[in-house]
Structure 1
Amino acid sequence: METYKVEQHAHRHGVHYDHNLVYGKTERIGHKFAMGYKIYGADCDELENFISKGKKQTDLIGTVFAMCNGKLMVL
């Protein structure tokens, strides 16, 4: 599978992607590296749907841990 960017995924699914509301940084979790994102103003159900669909587009994403309004989502 090819590299699939968040911006491409958002555009393809009609989701408005505002760089001012998304903060991403590389994090080390245990012995692995991951991307950590803070997304402001997101609806939890829409976020879960967005992540789930994005995971299907690439084999580069494993387990996703997302916290939304204090609720942990493991996708």
Structure 2
Amino acid sequence: MRVMGTLEDGAAYDVEVTGLEDRPVTGSRRVRALVEQHTGRPVLLGPLGPRRTLEPTDADAVLALLRIHTRVVEVS
């Protein structure tokens, strides 16, 4: 899935969430580092849950992480 948005400092990103173990996100080193940094930690899939441990192969959890830590503009 393709995700576009902006980071906290306003920098734009355009990434592909691949669901692959070795390369869960392509297109932005900063977003890839964010995913790597939070792998193994719990993430809320929605405002009230459910809570799931972030795994690189879980595209829904990666998208939820991006929604929490960045401003997601478009998902396709």
TM-score (norm 2): 0.28
User: Computing the radius of gyration over CA atoms, which structure comes out larger, 1 or 2?
Assistant: 1
Structure number with the bigger relative contact order (C-alpha 8 A, sep ≥ 6) is 2
